[in-house]
Structure 1
Amino acid sequence: MNPGNRGTVILVLLLAIIAAPVTAAVYFTTSAPGIITKGDTFSISGTGAVNGTVGIWIVGRDHFEVLTTAPDRHGNFSITIKPSATNRFSSGQYAIVFQDPGASGVLEIEGGTDVNDNLVVMNRGKIVTRLGHRQDLGENIRPIAGQILSSSSIPGMDDIFQVEYFFVEEPAVFFNNLIPASGFRLPDQITGERIVISGTTNIATENAISTEIRTRNTKELVTVKTIPVISGDPMNTWIWDLDAPGLPPGDYELTVGWVKSNTTVMGVFTVKYPAPPSSPSDGKPVDEKIPRQDDYTFPVLVACSLIVLAIVLYYAGRE
């Protein structure tokens, strides 16, 4: 290759690199991996958004909105969905679509509604796709997201899209180690020992869980405690414990809940006395050999026989 051609190739490569689309790295902060719990904060943030104002499409069952935010001069951005907003989300799958304006610096694809209140996708104000009515979006949101993403193939349009899917759920708290087919019965505990009871939840780690112990028969309050939510995968976790000596023998109820959403669950358990130590057996151990006893049956039998024979011979001689 001659120097002139080599220079041309290098120039073409540089132009290709310069013209390549640059998009941001996007991060999501959710209640638990892949889960947005109603009443929890949900946030979308990113870095490297150097092309200008970005868009966030939130599409779910009967939910459709497009938010925009301008990154700072370093390309960082963040959008926070408040608990009051997520509390209105319907349970089910949601698509979160990130939209980068591309090299043009302008968001050309927009969301909106037509005169018949149909949800639409528009390119510079011109409708390119109708998504139907909001209440008809349904539970399977992937085809709807696919229609939004397909707009990136419109000739002359340089917007860049990324999509992530999440499930919106009602707040829930669960116990570990529930005894099967027993309702909400937990394993028995031993008085004098530390008590540890654990579980899982889909609420976020910035929340706290309230707990209380009551006697099962009289409902007398024994103790109240606030415990943290611990990050986990696939679910967050919680641990309630009570140091030794634990609780007196009896039946108890443990109520665990998230006061913010009035979500509670109750488990019952029994505290028992320790099992008494096993006493040694009065009999001899099974594996101990029993000494052999002397058997005098045969000698006695022989002696008796000789005595009888002597008596018989004595009387026979007299006759």
Structure 2
Amino acid sequence: MSFTVALALSYFVLNVSPIKVGFLCVTIKYKCCHKGAWFVQTTVFIGLGQMGRRMVRRLDPATTIIYNRTEDVALQLHHDYGYQVSSNLAQDVAQAQCVITMLTDHHAVEDIGQQALYGHLAPGSTWVDMTTGDVASTRRYEAVCANREAHFVAAPVLGSLKPAEAGNLVVIAGGTPSAISGVMSTLERFGRVVETKRAEQAVAVKLAMNTLLGFYMDGMAEMLKITDAAQVTRSQVLDILQMSSLDAPVMHVKRPKWESGDASAEFPIRMLAKDLGLALQFAARIGVELPVLACLESVFRQDGQSERGGQDMAFVETGRGE
């Protein structure tokens, strides 16, 4: 029934003030009930790192509550755009229709989970974890949600800072069809959504994609060592690469950095090292031997632990590794 029809019926049939019915309709729009549990149709977004703070800008400040372990970023977003900053995360989670976590890794998710998620998710709500974490942890999150009669969607993303700002990420959403459809309009704000049948598959695909990304970054670093030694300008080398079948979109994104030497991080070496380590752990868990990945992971891990770890992945030092 439309809002206009409701107002008309209120006056001519029910003899109720249209103003009162209008207030009731607006209230219903922002509240839902699941087995007696009422919760406001808000989204709680947890994790305002370099990616998270850009992604949350794709969501409506009027219906989004934000939380970050260091509050300064959240307060700045409140000041600039009007987002409500959570003062009681467990309480806000208990009243939210959708909870999104975008954190450093599964250890950070576990900390937040113990603090405010696991015992507070509302029945009928959906937890969307966009963290790149451990595949095994995803199964735990599903069990937590099942225990709370809530839904779980794993939705890691492909892309970096500029795609996050523009809403051009690739969102790999894994979960039941009903769980994904319930948050699809939210996920689509971040970019193109690709569905997998199970939550753990979404995380496995993300780790596999970042494995390929690591090989690409390392390959580019070694290629440029050869051409630099041959005194060929990087612009010419990258022009030739761009003409060849080896061209890839990520090369276009990183080209300005390789040409200028700007090592400021869009995706730090240490973060890609973390993902390669998770990919290697998952491979070992399922009994797959990946010796070349083991070497690559060693290169990124050692570089990530050095003073260079905060630099962009495009500047990985290939001389390291075991």
Which structure has greater helix proportion? Answer: 2
TM-score, length of structure 1 as denominator length:
0.27
TM-score, length of structure 2 as denominator length:
0.27
Which structure has greater strand proportion? Answer: 1
